[in-house]
Structure 1
Amino acid sequence: MTTSTGPDARRIAETVASCPGVAALLAGPFGTVATYLPGGSVTGVRLRDEVVEIHVAVRYGRPIPEIVAEVREAVGPLIGDRRVDVMVDDVTETEEARKVGSS
């Protein structure tokens, strides 16, 4: 859902994390991808004027383009007319990535 100040980063992160091929949201290669909010931050989601940037680790076994398309489709209703850039920063076979991506 889009609010008067823009998309809700926490809701976007929850939606991305619920996608079947996503193992975790990640902070990107330099640890800087996040949306900073009062009381904390949302790792793996960066809101910009025209773009929502999402960084994820995906589970091994499914085609990455399929997973990326699912993420884009899932967050589409939450971001208004912004473009969605999904970056796959890691591929994992385990649930360990969930622990790494949590904030």
Structure 2
Amino acid sequence: MTTGRGRTDLRFDPAVPANPRITQPRTTPDARRIAEMVASCPGVAALTGGPFGTVATYLPGESVSGVCLRDEEIEIHVAVRYGRPIPEVAAEVREAVALLADGRRVNLTVDDVTGIEEKRKARSS
């Protein structure tokens, strides 16, 4: 189809194969959903913002602390509950986030272990 001065109108034609040199945009994982999945893991006490509070995904009008989305990875910072082995908690978190990660690597950092004081108080009484 031509329009004005012999120019062709570029329209999407599903019959024409896509150019393999043009990469398709990756879907962006939903930081809120990832945070909800991480918080729902039994060994996770809370998501944390990292040592300086900089680990977050900034969205219009809000931020999701503890989850940082990058092109090739998802960085997650958590505080875990005392009493469970940290590698088990990390495996739970990675498994919970795997479907939402869209093929990105999941890096988990444990910033804190909570509940130690309560356990010590219970034993000393």
What's the TM-score bracket when you normalise by the shorter of the two chains? 0.7 to 0.9
CA distance in 2, matches of 1:32, 1:18: 22
Deviations 1:34-66 (A, max 9, x none): 000011000000000000000000000000000
TM-score by length of 2: 0.71
1:76 aligns with 2:98: yes
Query: Which residue is 1:57 aligned to?
Result: 79
Larger radius of gyration: 2
Q: CA RMSD in A?
A: 1.2
Tell me the equivalent position of 1:33.
Answer: 55
The alignment of Structure 1 onto Structure 2 pairs a total of residues equal to 91
- Highest RCO, 1 vs 2 (Cα 8 Å, sep ≥ 6): 1
Structure 1: runs of 5 or more not aligned: 95-103
Name the SS for the 1:7 alignment partner: coil
TM-score under structure 1 normalisation?
0.86
Could you tell me which residue of structure 1 aligns to residue 46 of structure 2?
24
Quick check: which one's helix share is greater? 1
Deviation at 1:5, TM superposition (A): 4.4
Cα distance in 2 for residues equivalent to 1:5 and 1:80: 7
SS of residue in 1 equivalent to 2:77: strand
Q: Which runs of 4+ in 1 moved over 2 A?
A: none
